[in-house]
Amino acid sequence: MAGFIGSYNHILFSSLLIACLLGLTLDYLLTKGRPIIPLAVVSAGLVNYSSYFFFLNDTIQAKSYGNLRYVALLFIVLICSEAYLIKKSEKIFTNFSNWAFSSKIRNILGGILRFTVAGGTIAFFYFHGLALIQILAGEVVLRRVWIYKMGHPLELYQLGLSAILVFVLVIKVLNDVINKKNVLSSYIMTSYLAVFTVYITHDAPRYYLIIVILFYLTLIKVVFETKLRNVFIALMLINFAVNQVIFWNACDYQQKYIPPEIKIGNSPNSKATHFLPMQPVIDTLRKYKIGSVVSSERFFIMQPIYFYQHVYPEFMNFSKKATIEYDYHGDTKAGFIISKESGGN
């Protein structure tokens, strides 16, 4: 359900179900465990996704909200039908798979699929490895949300620790696959990395939400399985304390909002402007009774202002006009350039 809702925000969130299907298929082909029902359930989930993109998304985009009840009814019927068919077809599907996939065929198909997933995983670290380390280090979040840059020693510490944790994760997954221990979770993890690379090759912080969750779930297993458990726990506690100090400093950070250059992975440099506080802008609009605003930033500037205009109806009575743009040179304290137009009351 989380992936279903997230997919409306970005198609990337549908990748988790595909990764689960790939991981389960690998486990079915390469091990003695035959997760027939999980395969069928995940396949049914992909059918739901397809229906969603054909019906629900088009309905919402067209603002045909009156048709949503029919779409909801369609999904209820679809889900109930899938549940019934999965239950009834378990024996048929099992017998068919045993007949169609001999050991030799399973090994061949499994080898091809494993080679493909391995290639996709290598491609992930080529395109997104640096970005993943930056995300785990918290550097990107601090720069974008708080417009705060850590000192170089602390930044190197955070990046180094994140790189070590990623290395530990890679060793853990490889060890599980080679020794066939916890192999299903490792197959799903590597499948997701491969699918992620197929979906997208540039970087943005929100794209890494699922990867970070999978990363920390795997890291928890590493901590409780390793002989160096106490060392890992001590390092995590130390790093938690360090991060708390960083976040406190970031929250108390007082200076001009000069948007720093941000480079995430292999993506082009961008400015951290979209998270600037809007309250100084709203206060200025109220002070000078500006009711009409023009900006080239339709979403990140205009939409918040439209929201405030609905919350505070007095804005509708203001007759003055202004143009608002981001200040990329640090000439203003708030990070915005507000140019009032002549005329009005």
Distance between CA 81 and CA 44 in Å, rounded?
10
H/E segment holding residue 323: strand 320-326
Taking the C-alpha atoms of residue 9 and residue 179, their distance in angstroms, rounded to an integer, is 39
Q: What percentage of residues in the chain have a pLDDT greater than 70?
A: 68
pTM here is 0.72
- The whole-number pLDDT of residue 161 equals 85
197-204 contacts, C-beta under 8 A, 24 or more apart = 197/120, 197/123, 197/124, 197/127, 197/128, 198/120, 199/11, 199/12, 199/15, 200/12, 201/127, 201/266, 202/265, 202/266, 202/267, 203/128, 203/131, 203/264, 203/265, 203/266, 203/267, 204/264, 204/267
Kind of pairing, strands 320-326 and 290-294? parallel
**β-strands 290-294, 270-271 pairing:** unpaired
pLDDT (average), residues 241-264: 66
* Mean pLDDT (the chain, rounded): 76
Interval 219-236 mean pLDDT: 76
At 208, give phi and psi (nearest 5°). -95, 10
Least confident of 67-71, 180-184, 226-230: 67-71
pLDDT in tens, 49-102: 666 666 655 555 555 555 666 666 776 777 677 667 766 666 666 666 666 666
106-159 confidence digits (pLDDT tens): 778 878 888 999 999 999 998 888 888 888 888 777 777 666 777 788 888 888
**Average pLDDT value for residue range 30-43:** 66
